[in-house]
Structure 1
Amino acid sequence: MASPLGKVAVITGGNAGIGLTLAERLLTLDSSLTLCLACRNMIKAEAARQALLTSHPSSRVECVRLDTSDVQSVYTAAQKIREEYPRVDYLYLNAGTMGKVSVDAMAILKAMVSPRAPEIFRTGEKLLSQKDETTKDGLQEIFATNVFGHFVLIRELEDVLCQPDHTSQVIWTSSQNATRKAFDLEDFQHSEGQEGYSSSKYATDMLSAALTEAYRGRGLVSHTACPGLVVTNLTKGILPPWVWWVMLPLLWVMRALVPSMTISPHNGTEVLVMWALVPSMTISPHNGTEVLVWLSRQVPSSLDPLCKYTSRCKVWGTAYVDREKLDIDLPTAEQFYQKLLQLENHFREKYREVRSEIRGQ
């Protein structure tokens, strides 16, 4: 296949929700963009591709199978991307999981009348209980899916991300649910806790800052972006639909109090708390991905790697981008980065023959 014209964007988890909405917006802004949807489910990925081509018939949209919880799948996907594209301009690390989630209904009721309600619903504090599982690689599933698989992907794509006289952007989907207290450097997979999602999102915030430092001068920068409070398939089924009909008026009130409650997939990039999918709640699907699109339009050197850029929404639904300092310290971020390098090297050794075969070596 001929080399792609224009810029190239790869979106993990690009077949639904925030990922698909982001793809639509990027193609609308730049019809010459080559788009690669890196997804676990190829049937859904192909359906998303066809939907995008229906609205953008002259665009180049392709799919590659990627399961970020499976190291060998990451190796295979990375090789296909390297073979297909001479460079990648935007790598959107959007795929994610919350594990098996249950909601503390009593905590929700108490939160509704709490003076701290805006903060509780913004972060999801104590509202969710997450049960993690172990992948076939022996990793915690939330950590593997949200963090490590994406880290391995970056490492495997260095050739097409780090190019002379060119700057590529890695853009992570983070969350307001990312909190320092949920993360333990000595248990960075969060195998002993109940807040795996929060831990993984804090880990991506740290990793983003560490990556920019590690790749300084090599043409790769990393940013972390938060969508606000969004309803996507990630949390579909956590609560029955009737609950959201009851709570919809509350969400409108909360948005007036908390700008980060962007509610729809266009408004943010990922669910932060416990909302299930209710079609009537996609108030303004355009707003959710505001920050992800905005980052692609900025000069990378003008962005602060120690800030999280966030989709916000005014009372009547107008989207805008805000930023906040990351609650991290660089020495800890560097230690975490080194631990990931050690873990990645472990799997390179474990799967040496498989990886060499995939890479044609």
Structure 2
Amino acid sequence: MEQLAIITGANTGIGFALAQRLLEESAESKICLNICLSCRNYDKAVRAKSLLLSKYNCSANQIFIETVDTSSIQSVLKFTKAIKEKFFKIDYFYLNAGIMPVSKVDFSLFFTFNLFYVIKILTTGCDILKQLDEDTQDGMKSVFQTNVFGHIIMIFELLEILCKSQSKVIFTGSSAAREDSFSIDDIEHRFGADPYGSSKFLLDVLVIELNRLFNSKGVYFYTCCPGLVMSQVTYNLMPYWVWNLILVPIIRLVRMFSSFYTLDPLNGAEALLYLSMIRKCDQRERPSVFGG
């Protein structure tokens, strides 16, 4: 029987690596897996599809492309309409797209004698990254709408097919999720300095509630941190040379003592792949939030 995996933010980083690992695993398991690359930029999605076809023994008919911008309600509704018209089931729904706009990096925080604080900075980006959040055309804050709201709209628009398919819905989470950055009175994080940490914590909370609402209907939700991965999002945080000449060598040393620093997107995708394969059970019996 054919299976379908939909991945948002699939043309680069964790999303693209996940598509690679799914194709590898499905080939080994003799499963006919179709993948829908859901990306903002159509041309980049086409390039990603070409790379997958050149590397893996799969048919062009197995890889679909749908454009979607999770920071636009109109785009999300157009996307969900197209999905319902093309597919009758969704086995795996990977909600991976996200942004972390950074306007400034405070390098002075690295010059501290507290090694544990430096490790925390490298792990979460807390304090060192000065984030810049803007309003979308829909009037919401861009980080909240891109990372959270757009994906939630997708879930409820596709809920009928998700229930019929007994789907697994897997969010890409982050260790940067911070409870102290989130306020129930300011879910868009209009008045704070850490919209990314707030959005990722909100996802952790929403996954628990979504499981409470929909486990009985056969839909299971997870959120998983892939670890610190060198992806487009990561490299956009600060100059390329800073990563390669200074931070990556340090991180490789720290990685000897902590498996969190996965570095390669393929390594980071392993945790998401694992969640695709574990047995479904009532989420009250197991955690819904996983680390990489």
| TM-score, normalised relative to structure 2 | 0.92
- CA-to-partner distance for each residue in 1:284-343, whole Å, 9 max, x for gaps? xxx1111001111111217656342122xxxxxxxxxxxxxxxxxxxxxxxxxxxxxxxx
What is residue 309 of structure 1 aligned with on the other side?
290
What is residue 90 of structure 1 aligned with on the other side?
92
- Structure 2 CA distance for partners of 1:19 and 1:34, relative to 1, 3 Å: same
What is residue 14 of structure 1 aligned with on the other side?
10
RMSD: 1.6
Q: Which amino acid aligns with 1:178?
A: A
- In 2, Cα distance between the equivalents of 1:72 and 1:224? 25
Instruction: Report the Cα offset of residue 88 of structure 1.
Output: 0.4
1:290 is the counterpart of 2:289:
no
Contact 2:102 2:129 in 1 (8 A): no
1:56 is the counterpart of 2:56:
yes
Contact 1:99 1:130 in 2 (8 A): yes
- In 2, Cα distance between the equivalents of 1:295 and 1:130? 30
Q: How do 1:65-144 and structure 2 match up within 5 A?
A: 65-110=67-112, 113-144=114-145
Contact 1:38 1:64 in 2 (8 A): yes
Q: Which amino acid aligns with 1:309?
A: F
Instruction: Report the Cα offset of residue 217 of structure 1.
Output: 1.4
Contact 1:99 1:133 in 2 (8 A): no
- CA-to-partner distance for each residue in 1:54-80, whole Å, 9 max, x for gaps? 223434000001100000110010011
Instruction: Report the Cα offset of residue 252 of structure 1.
Output: 1.5
Instruction: Report the Cα offset of residue 179 of structure 1.
Output: 1.0
- In 2, Cα distance between the equivalents of 1:238 and 1:260? 19
- In 2, Cα distance between the equivalents of 1:307 and 1:118? 26
Instruction: Report the Cα offset of residue 122 of structure 1.
Output: 1.7
- In 1, Cα distance between the equivalents of 2:286 and 2:83? 26
- CA-to-partner distance for each residue in 1:86-125, whole Å, 9 max, x for gaps? 1101100000001234211111333x75343323322222
What is residue 242 of structure 1 aligned with on the other side?
241
What is residue 148 of structure 2 aligned with on the other side?
147
Contact 1:223 1:305 in 2 (8 A): no
- In 1, Cα distance between the equivalents of 2:177 and 2:196? 8
- Structure 2 CA distance for partners of 1:161 and 1:305, relative to 1, 3 Å: farther
- In 1, Cα distance between the equivalents of 2:253 and 2:235? 22
- In 2, Cα distance between the equivalents of 1:302 and 1:217? 8
> For 1:257, what is the secondary structure of its paired residue?
coil
Contact 2:9 2:96 in 1 (8 A): yes
Instruction: Report the Cα offset of residue 262 of structure 1.
Output: 1.1
- In 2, Cα distance between the equivalents of 1:296 and 1:188? 29
| TM-score, normalised relative to structure 1 | 0.75
What is residue 210 of structure 1 aligned with on the other side?
209
- In 2, Cα distance between the equivalents of 1:249 and 1:75? 43
What is residue 277 of structure 1 aligned with on the other side?
none
What is residue 46 of structure 2 aligned with on the other side?
46
> For 1:215, what is the secondary structure of its paired residue?
helix
What is residue 163 of structure 2 aligned with on the other side?
162
- Structure 2 CA distance for partners of 1:264 and 1:209, relative to 1, 3 Å: same
- In 2, Cα distance between the equivalents of 1:55 and 1:302? 38
Contact 1:222 1:305 in 2 (8 A): no
Query: Any gaps of 5 or more consecutive residues in structure 2?
Result: none
Q: Which amino acid aligns with 2:172?
A: T
- The share of aligned pairs that are identical, in percent, is 37
> For 2:199, what is the secondary structure of its paired residue?
helix
> For 2:215, what is the secondary structure of its paired residue?
coil
Contact 2:221 2:288 in 1 (8 A): no
Aligned residue pairs: how many?
284
What is residue 185 of structure 2 aligned with on the other side?
186
Greater RCO, CA 8 A, separation 6+: 2
Contact 1:208 1:305 in 2 (8 A): no
Contact 2:102 2:237 in 1 (8 A): no
What is residue 265 of structure 2 aligned with on the other side?
265
Instruction: Report the Cα offset of residue 249 of structure 1.
Output: 2.5
